Amino acid sequence: MAAEPAGKDTRLFRLAHADGAPPPAAAAGAHIPLRLPNGPERPYSLPPPGPAPAQNEIAAKKEADGRGGSAFVHDRLAVGDTIAALPPRNDFPLKEDAALSILIGGGIGITPLIAMAERLAEIDRPFRFHAAFRSAADMLLRDRIGRYAQLALHFDDEAGSLFPMAAAVSAAPPGAHLYCCGPAPMIESFLASARAAGRDEATLHFEYFTPPAAVPQDGSFIVELARSGLELIVPPRKSILEVVREAGIDAPSSCEQGTCGACETKVLAGIPDHFDAVLTPQDRKAGKSMMICCSGALSDRLVLDL
């Protein structure tokens, strides 16, 4: 492992296989889950390969109000340390044949968009790249985003306002695909602006770096695990994932905030109450899967493929 500064409170880490094997292929928008010794897995988006393509790179911002993952990465990981990582996962894929791609990122949320910009430039597809920061001093990965002529920078302090989301969305021609990654308020503004403009949901793509506020579950419900043959009661203010683990069932998870998609589970019966930031409106309406780390039930019983 190697590390270097990448902006305010942000470090760029280079990860290589201990046996020298090349890293697994990762398409633009993918992230890699790290298994940190101090807690569950944490997903980190992959920018395009740097000077050493035999390595994976991740950019990690130290969050003062985080759950300890970013502090561990910044304060306790050192060059030469070994850490477990899972294969890349992509819940934020790029549609490479779009007539135009609009990339909108805020803060550390620019990381997957840099990979998208790199790929679009590589295949000579048109795009626009908006990167927003609180100030010039808060700009991250400056050397990476500065290489694109399509880049438009926004600094809140210089503009005297937040990024003009509605204007950016309105300026996109019909048929363009729009991508947004950043803090929850930015993505909520993105979705509200796009839907108010009547844009096709299939052209809207987003990934949260910080989750939207969760809505506590007020009542209990029953979860039946079809493969395990167990019936479990999920009490108020407890997640399905927590209850399933307490029953000794191994269920995959990563962020445990509803933003990464790792805990997505098939729903065989019942009506989920979705609070994740991964599923599309169409997916939610279909009710065929759910994120068990954060979502609950609108019915008295759910049957899950676990």
In a domain, 167, yes or no: yes
Domain identity same for 203 and 272: no
Which range is most confident: 218-227, 239-248, 251-260?
239-248
Strand-by-strand arrangement of the 101-106 sheet: 151-155, 127-133, 101-106, 177-182, 204-208
CA 284, 214, 133 angle in degrees (round to 5)? 100
End residue of a domain, out of 182, 208, 234: 208
Domain identity same for 24 and 60: yes
In a domain, 29, yes or no: yes
In a domain, 92, yes or no: no
Domain identity same for 187 and 119: yes
In a domain, 297, yes or no: yes
Domain identity same for 187 and 278: no
In a domain, 214, yes or no: no
In a domain, 216, yes or no: no
In a domain, 144, yes or no: yes
The number of domains in the chain is 3
In a domain, 291, yes or no: yes
Residue 194, domain extent: 101-208
Do 234 and 222 form a contact (C-beta atoms < 8 A)? yes
* Three-class SS state of 103: strand
Domain identity same for 58 and 107: no
**pLDDT above 70: residue 216:** no
**pLDDT above 90: residue 96:** yes
> For the segment 115-173, what is each residue's pLDDT rounded down to a tens digit?
999 999 999 999 999 999 999 999 999 888 989 999 999 999 999 999 999 999 999 99
Domain identity same for 78 and 118: no
End residue of a domain, out of 144, 175, 208: 208
